[in-house]
Each structure stands twice: as C-alpha cells, then as structure tokens.
C-alpha cells in the first residue's frame, strides 16, 4: 500500500513521471491489492447469487452502500458447512484479487459462515418450518420406545465423554448390549456420517451377524450452534424421521435445540438422560418382581384360604340329614293326624249336602206318589169284586136271554112257512104267466091282422104304389118334378125311376099311401 501511495504521489513535473503500460499498471495494482488484502474477513449480506454448472459459486456481498463481487471456487464450496443463500448475513474469509482483463477486483472466499447466532437461528427456523410443513415432526410419526431394549445402537463419537456417560449410566441401570457407530460429531462430515449411521443401523437385518438394535441414541456433547450444526442438516433430520428403530436424540445440552430433536421419537436433554430413558433400573424391576411374586403368592393363598373358610362356613351351615327330615316328618305326622277327622268332616259335609238335597227332593216325590196313590185308590175302589160279579151276572143273563131266543123249532117252523109261501107263490106265478102269455099271443095276432088290414102294404097289392125321393115321400106332382131321381115301391119291390121334366103327367102316378093311417098303426 505504501508502494501504491508512493507511486501514486503526484509528480510536480509530469514530464518526469514514469510511464506505465496498462498491463504494467494493472499488474502493479494486482500486486498491491493481493499483497495488501491477502487475508480479510468481510461481513455483508449475500446479494445476487449465481451457481453455474461449473460448480464455482459467484455472489455479491453487499451492504447499504457498496457491492463486492465474490467467488467461491468449486473445491471450497463443497466444503462449506452452510451453503450460501441470498439474503444471508455472512462473514466471508478470503483474499482480494483483481481481474485485469476487465479492470475489476473480487473477493475469493475461502470460508463463508452465517454472521452471528441470529442469522443461523433465522436459517434454522426457516428450515424447521419447511420440514415441519412436510410432516416430518408430526406426533403421529413418533414411535413408542421399548421398555427394555436388548441392543442399543449409539451414534456418536467413539472417543469422548458422551459415550462414556451413556455406557456408565446404562451399566448402573441395566447393562445392555451396545453397538457404537462412530461418526464425526462436528464439521462438514458430521451430517452425512450421522445420517449414514442411522440408515445403516436400520439396514441391519434381524438375526444377522451384527445384532440389529431395538433402540437408537444419537448423541453429542454440548457445543456452539455452529458445532452442533450438523444435527440441523436435512439429511440427518430425514434419516431420523425415517428410522424404523425408535430413536432418542441427545445432542448438546438441554438448552440446545437441533432439528434432529424434532424428528426423534424422544428428545433427551443430555446423553445421560438418554441412557436413563433407554433402560429401566434393573434392581427396581427385581424388587418389583419380588413384590409381584409376593402378591401372586398372597393372592393365591388368600384365594385358597377364603375358599377354605367359605367351605368350612358352608359345611357348618349345612344341616344334619336327620334335621332335614325332622320337619318333613313332623308335617307327615300332623297331616296323618288330621286325615281321619278330615275324612269325617268331609263325610259330614257330604251328608249335610245329601240331607239338604233330600229335603228338597222328598216333598215333591211325596206329592207325586200321593197323587198316583189317589188315582190308584180310586181305580182300585172301582175294581171291587162285587161290581165285577154283578157285571158278570148281567152278562150271563143277557147270554141266557139270547140263548133262549135261539130256539131251533121256531126257526124250523118259520122256514117251513117260508117255503110253503114260496111254493104257493111259484104256483101262482106259473099260472099267471101261462094265462098272460096266451092272452098276449092272441091279442098280438089280432093286432097283426088289424095291421094287415089297415096298412098301405095291402093297398100296394091292390095296385097302389108309393113314390119317394130319397127318404122323403113325394105326394105331389110339383114335388116330383124337381127331384132328379125317384123311387117307386110296388107290392113286390122298389123301382128307381128318373122323372122326365117335360112330361108332366106320368101315367103311373098314384097318390101316396095314407101316411096318417100308417102312423096311427104305431
């Protein structure tokens, strides 16, 4: 710097001032800057940040007035505990250099860390919120710790107080199998190694040559926030959250909180507390067990004793068989004693009922019998032998009278008289009949003769004829003319003729016989 100032001192005589080429002056500046600012610490806020593929990191450091271009070469960037983020307040350690081709200078950063606890805390909080939003810290993810783990895996540094504290406390309480997975507990290797240890324990197969732990403790002693920073890294938090083996975190002191604490199933304030939580106290358990044994035995003894007592009580309360029968026997006696009186009583009752019924029955029966008897008496009175005999005598008299009337001689006499009369009447009838017949025969002959005399038939013999038209007598010429056929009766027979209308005077016409004369005959 002194050189720069000296060389920069204005020469009163410009003509004598030495002349530089651009490169010369640039080189001089470069030398001056690089020698003057070979190791500086710069505090500022990360402004524009560029992460090209090359792996180098370009960024601006700035404050409220100025900007300093900076670069982190690839190798350095990979080692950084805290990757740069825009807006991060940082302290960058490095050297200034120039870039003559563009007349620029820049800070080559060799280390970059957050500026102060505030910045780190702000970053931590931001990361915590992000991971919490992902659900890695959810209560539902927490696993129950085993009551008595067989194998405990401890992720920590194999040297140092922490593992000693843990082993010591385990030994006091309950000696167990412990598997130590050695890791760096600070620095750039911390986070990847811790994460790999957690995953490595989980990857151990059950029943393999290396026993799989059933509990993990991730432990580290106290330190600064930066020292503990590895346990805030995302890979560690994720490994802890994903661990299938229940995990206790014991990082730093009680006041130190790292993000692994949120992801762990239980957070121990100290490594010693982790050991206490990991196993119960063996002696306590043995005592408890003895106590249980006592309770068990006592419970059993009491159960037996109580039952024995109850059995005894019940046995006492159990009556003698005789006494069981006594009551029944007494009841039998009483019942037997009461049997006969009861029967008698029953009979008396029945008799009483019978009497009552009988009393109702007798008057009615008596009345009916009396009525019948009266009727019978009257009938019997009518049935006296005297009456019967008088009836018989009367009948006999009637019979005798009838018998007397039955006299055979009288009947014979009446028969003879009747026969005589019959004979007499028969003789008279014969006589009368003969006489009457002769007279009638004679009269008939007389009448016949008279008839012969008076009839038209005799007239026919005398030359007369009868003319008929059908059945009707034709006594007139006018009548005969109108007839189509006529019949003429002669003495010796009838002749059918047809009148000739044009011949009004038939020669044979004769007056009809005297009909009234015939009629008078009959």
Partner 1 sequence: MSQGKPIGEMSFEEAIRELEQVVTALDRGDVALEDSIKLYERGAALKARCEAKLKEAEEKVAQITLDASGQPTGTTPVEGL
The candidate with the shortest Cα–Cα distance to 265, out of 243, 232, 287, is 243
The span from the CA of 369 to the CA of 377, in Å, is: 12
The candidate with the shortest Cα–Cα distance to 104, out of 72, 67, 76, 74, is 67
Nearer to partner 1, 158 or 470 (CB): 158
Nearer to partner 1, 38 or 309 (CB): 309
Name the minimum Å distance from CB 154 to partner 1: 9
Nearer to partner 1, 38 or 292 (CB): 292
Nearer to partner 1, 107 or 218 (CB): 218
Nearer to partner 1, 48 or 306 (CB): 306
Name the minimum Å distance from CB 258 to partner 1: 21
Name the minimum Å distance from CB 147 to partner 1: 4
Alpha helices, H only, 108-233: 116-133, 161-173, 190-203
Binding site for partner 1 (CB under 8 A): 146-148, 158, 163-164, 167, 170-171, 174-182, 193, 196-197, 200, 204, 209-210, 282, 285-286, 289, 292-293, 295-296, 298-300, 302-304, 306-307
Dihedral of alpha carbons 190, 177, 238, 116, sign: negative
Nearer to partner 1, 193 or 233 (CB): 193
User: Helix 234-242 to helix 190-203 angle, to the nearest 10 degrees?
Assistant: 20
The candidate with the shortest Cα–Cα distance to 222, out of 247, 258, 275, 265, is 258
Q: What is the 3-state secondary structure (H, E, C) of 211-246?
A: CCCCEEEEEECCCCCCCCHHHHCHHHHHHHHHCCCC
| Residue whose structure tokens are 């106590």 | 291
Nearer to partner 1, 128 or 169 (CB): 169
Q: Which two tokens stand for residue 482?
A: 């109108």
Nearer to partner 1, 196 or 468 (CB): 196
Nearer to partner 1, 230 or 499 (CB): 230
Name the minimum Å distance from CB 60 to partner 1: 37
CA Rg, the chain, in Å? 90
CA angle at residue 181 from 178 to 186, to 5 degrees? 130
Name the minimum Å distance from CB 211 to partner 1: 9
Q: Which helix (H) or strand (E) holds 84?
A: none
Cα distance between the two ends of the chain: 223
Cα 274 to the center of its chain, rounded Å: 57
Name the minimum Å distance from CB 268 to partner 1: 19
Name the minimum Å distance from CB 257 to partner 1: 27
Q: Across 373-500, where does the E strand assignment appear? A: 466-469, 472-473, 486-490, 493-497
> Which residues share a beta bridge with 26?
none
What are the backbone angles phi and psi of residue 181, rounded to the nearest 5°? Answer: -105, 105
Nearer to partner 1, 262 or 266 (CB): 266
Name the minimum Å distance from CB 164 to partner 1: 6
Name the minimum Å distance from CB 84 to partner 1: 27
Name the minimum Å distance from CB 337 to partner 1: 48
Name the minimum Å distance from CB 305 to partner 1: 10
Nearer to partner 1, 60 or 193 (CB): 193
230-261: b (≥16 Cβ within 10 Å) or e: bbbbeebbbbbbebebbbbbbbbeeebbbbbb
């Amino acid at each position: 710097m002194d050189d720069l100032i000296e060389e920069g001192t204005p020469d009163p005589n410009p003509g004598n001032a030495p002349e530089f080429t651009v490169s010369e002056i640039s080189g001089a500046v470069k030398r001056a800057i690089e020698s003057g600012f070979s190791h500086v610490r710069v505090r500022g806020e990360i402004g524009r940040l560029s992460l090209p593929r090359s792996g180098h990191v370009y960024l601006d450091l700035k404050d409220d007035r100025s900007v300093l271009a900076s670069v982190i070469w690839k190798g350095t960037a990979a080692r950084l505990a805290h990757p740069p983020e825009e807006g991060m307040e940082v302290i960058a350690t490095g050297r200034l250099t120039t870039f003559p081709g563009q007349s620029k200078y820049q800070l080559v950063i060799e280390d970059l860390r957050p500026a102060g606890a505030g910045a780190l805390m702000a970053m931590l909080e931001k990361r915590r919120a992000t991971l919490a939003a992902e659900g890695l810290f959810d209560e539902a993810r927490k696993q129950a710790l085993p009551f008595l783990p067989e194998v405990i895996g401890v992720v920590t540094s194999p040297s140092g107080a922490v593992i000693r504290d843990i082993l010591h406390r385990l030994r006091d309480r309950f000696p167990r199998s412990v598997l130590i997975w050695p890791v760096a507990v600070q620095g750039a290797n911390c986070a990847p190694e811790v994460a790999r240890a957690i995953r490595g324990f989980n990857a151990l197969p059950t029943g393999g040559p290396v026993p799989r732990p059933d509990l993990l403790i991730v432990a580290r002693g106290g330190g600064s926030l930066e020292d503990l920073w590895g346990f805030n890294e995302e890979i560690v938090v994720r490994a802890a959250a994903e661990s299938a083996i229940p995990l206790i975190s014991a990082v730093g002191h009680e006041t130190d909180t790292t993000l692994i604490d949120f992801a762990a199933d239980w957070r121990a304030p100290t490594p010693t507390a982790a050991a206490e939580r990991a196993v119960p106290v063996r002696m306590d358990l043995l005592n408890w067990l003895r106590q249980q044994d006592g309770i068990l035995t006592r419970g059993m003894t009491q159960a037996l004793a109580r039952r024995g007592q109850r059995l005894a009580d019940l046995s006492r309360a159990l009556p003698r068989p005789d006494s069981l029968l006594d009551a029944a026997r007494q009841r039998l006696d009483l019942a037997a004693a009461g049997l006969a009186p009861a029967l008698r009583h029953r009979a008396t009752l029945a008799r009483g009922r019978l009497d009552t019924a009988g009393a109702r029955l007798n008057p009615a029966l008596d009345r009916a019998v009396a009525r019948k008897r009266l009727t019978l008496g009257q009938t019997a009175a009518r049935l006296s032998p005297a009456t019967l005999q008088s009836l018989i005598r009367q009948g006999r008299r009637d019979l005798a009278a009838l018998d007397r009337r039955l006299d055979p001689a009288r009947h014979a006499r009446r028969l003879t008289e009747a026969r005589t009369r019959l004979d007499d009447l028969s003789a008279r009838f014969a006589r009368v009949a003969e006489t009457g017949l002769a007279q009638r025969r004679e009269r008939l002959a007389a009448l016949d003769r008279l008839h012969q005399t008076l009839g038209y038939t005799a007239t026919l013999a005398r030359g007369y004829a009868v003319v008929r038209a059908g059945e009707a007598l034709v006594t007139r010429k006018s009548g005969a003319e109108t007839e189509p056929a006529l019949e003429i009766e002669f003495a010796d027979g009838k002749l059918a003729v047809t009148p000739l209308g044009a011949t009004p005077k038939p020669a044979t016409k004769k007056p009809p016989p005297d009909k009234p004369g015939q009629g008078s005959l009959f």
